[in-house]
Amino acid sequence: MASLLFFLLLLAISTTEAQQGESNVNLGSFLTPTTNSLWLSRSGLYAFGFYQQANGYAVGVFLAGISEKTVVWTANRDNPPVLADATLNFTTDGRLILQSAQGKETNIASPSDSATSASMLDSGNFVIYNSNKKIIWQSFDNPTNTLLQGQRLKAGNELVSSVSESNQSAGIFRLAMQTDGHLVQYPVGTPDTAEYSYWASGTNGQGDNVSLCLDDDGHLYLLNSTGTNIKNLTGGGYPTKDTIYLMRIDADGIFRLYWHNLDKNGNFSVIWSSSYVKCDPKGLCGLNGLCTINDQDANCLCLPGFASVDQRNWSSGCVRNFTAESCKSKDGNMKYIMQAVPNTVWEDNSFAILSILIKEDCETACLEDCNCEAATYKDGICRKQKLPLRFGRRVLSDLNIAFIKVGISTSTINRTEPMGREEKSGKNILILGISLGAFGLIMSVISGIAFYRNRVWSYRRLSNSGNVGTSMDASPRSFTYSDLEKITNGFKEELGRGSSGTVYKGTIWNDQKIVAVKRLEKVFREGEKEFQTEMKVIGRTHHKNLVCLLGKSVDWDLPEEEAILEEWAYYCFQARELSKLVSDKEVDKKQLERMVKVGLWCVLDEPSLRPSIKKVLLMLEGTVDIPIPPSPTSLLSTI
């Protein structure tokens, strides 16, 4: 009898613990935004309840056990935030409703049976039970933008991005688990067809009822109805202890797998990403917008002739900054021109396709067509289009040229163009100015020749008289490096050394006059300054015990191909001959290569390709990898 009572006691205790672990929300329970605002999971990691959004509150599931409060599910996400006087009720008749102070009710969950209890599980799943402890509704079946460990995105369902990290309303991108087994990303509001997709798993036709699954070890994969893994997105095998994983389609349209170590107070880190080019998601910059890459981040611009609707929300796109008039009317206040935008692509929605040899003819064809508002030209094909232009982005490797029709007010043109006599007078002044300028240029050339000849004769006179040391008639002339090399016979005979250079014996004027040539050898800031000061002092001083300065050279012994520094540096980098760039044999080769690569990125002509100062510092520190820089003379660096 005692054994039976002990068994019943153990059964009662275990049942109570199970109920506490699985059913911690009873009928009649309620929450408010300011007091008693959430129902925690057993470990306290996840919570269901109110969280702050904008100037109000929303209801959802979020991570409460870490410093970075991350929302993973939102109820009625497109409804406006509620005020602080709202109440979340789990009513006595088993309904979960959000009630305003005015009595307006909104369903949070619609279970298939009468509810008796609910629970916030440690998996992040909020569930509602019937009287038999069977789950009749769960948040895992209604995902918004996130998948958690143990959760599946079933066939026919989709995840939709949020507007931003702080606004959980539905955004403009979706990840669809199609019934044909294909996992595909599209812009919101587009058909499930290939021309609108910007990422796909490539698993169409590989099984029925395929689901996207996330396991506890970070394994993200596609599973068909027979239990066969048809594709791994990540290999899994990541740590499971004190670690959580979540997959989310972010506001920028890319879906990523994140992990977080619960023992540390850091942020979520990315394990895997569907794309690493942030302009890949179609429609990121809205209608008539253009997505460009700047330091690996997406940057939205408006096409010529357009202005942003809302610079805080670029997905709202751009609108024309002029009022369009019929191009058939010659008496209107608008004149149209075409503006070219290279390396630009957008959705092909052309109404006419022409075979044209040169791009100028494509530009003219659109300008003269009142129905044409933009055109693209590539490989002899001209495509005419109407507004709006969708999915615009710059692709530097694409030779496609876009032409945008832009309107200019004729009143603006008239203010800048002279009329009648003023126009004629302006032309006369222009002709007269050009004539005077040409005459002045000719006189300058003649004067220069005369000055040069006089200077040469002066030096010859000095040479013949032998009175070089005391003459004041001639100023120091400029020598090239090759001149000095001939004078000294290749810097052969050394006369002495100084702190900044070496003095060599040389002869000038058919070996009739002996001179001393000092060459600056160690180019450092103080040495060069000292060398220049020495030239200035000697040039101004005339004394019987001091030689006279005949000339100077600021030329360098560089081949022609080394004259342009970035091209020479890139050549040395490509040929693995970076030692040519430095005179110090003891330099750290890895550090030198890192600095050269960073420098080559920083001097590219295209501003969008140059790294930011922050990125440069990280590159120099070795914190981030440095991609191989393009050639300074390549197409990529000249666009």
Q: Summarize the annotated binding site for ATP as residue ranges.
A: 518
Is the Cβ–Cβ distance between 147 and 159 less than 8 Å? yes
Give the relative orientation of helices 589-602 and 565-574 as an angle to the nearest 10 degrees.
130
Binding residues: 518
> 403: which strand partners?
340, 375
Cα–Cα distances (Å) from 363 to 309, 383, 389, 401, 613, in that order, read 27, 10, 17, 10, 39
How many CA atoms, within 13 angstroms, populate the side-chain half-sphere of residue 292? 18
Q: Is 574 helix (H, G, I), strand (E, B) or coil?
A: helix
DSSP conformation class of 201: -
Closest listed residue to residue 402, CA positions, set 429, 382, 422: 382
> CA-CA distance, 404 to 101, in Å (whole number)?
53
Cα angle vertex 278, ends 274, 281, to 5°?
70
Asked if residue 476 has a cis previous peptide bond (ω within 30° of 0), the answer is: no
- Element counts in the chain: helices (H) and strands (E): 10, 40
Is the Cβ–Cβ distance between 90 and 27 less than 8 Å? yes
β-pair type (158-162, 170-177): antiparallel
Ranges of beta strands (E only) in 357-422 are 374-378, 381-385, 393-394, 401-409
Is the Cβ–Cβ distance between 206 and 182 less than 8 Å? no
β-pair type (477-478, 551-552): parallel
CA dihedral angle for residue 338, residue 341, residue 342, residue 344, rounded to 10 degrees: -120
Count of Cβ atoms closer than 10 Å to residue 316 Cβ = 16
Closest listed residue to residue 480, CA positions, set 415, 560, 552: 552
DSSP conformation class of 141: G
DSSP conformation class of 89: E
Is the CA virtual torsion 325, 326, 327, 330 positive or negative? negative
Closest listed residue to residue 152, CA positions, set 140, 135, 162: 140
Number of residues in the chain? 639
> CA-CA distance, 467 to 465, in Å (whole number)?
5
Amino acid at 247: M
Tokens of 545: 């015990």
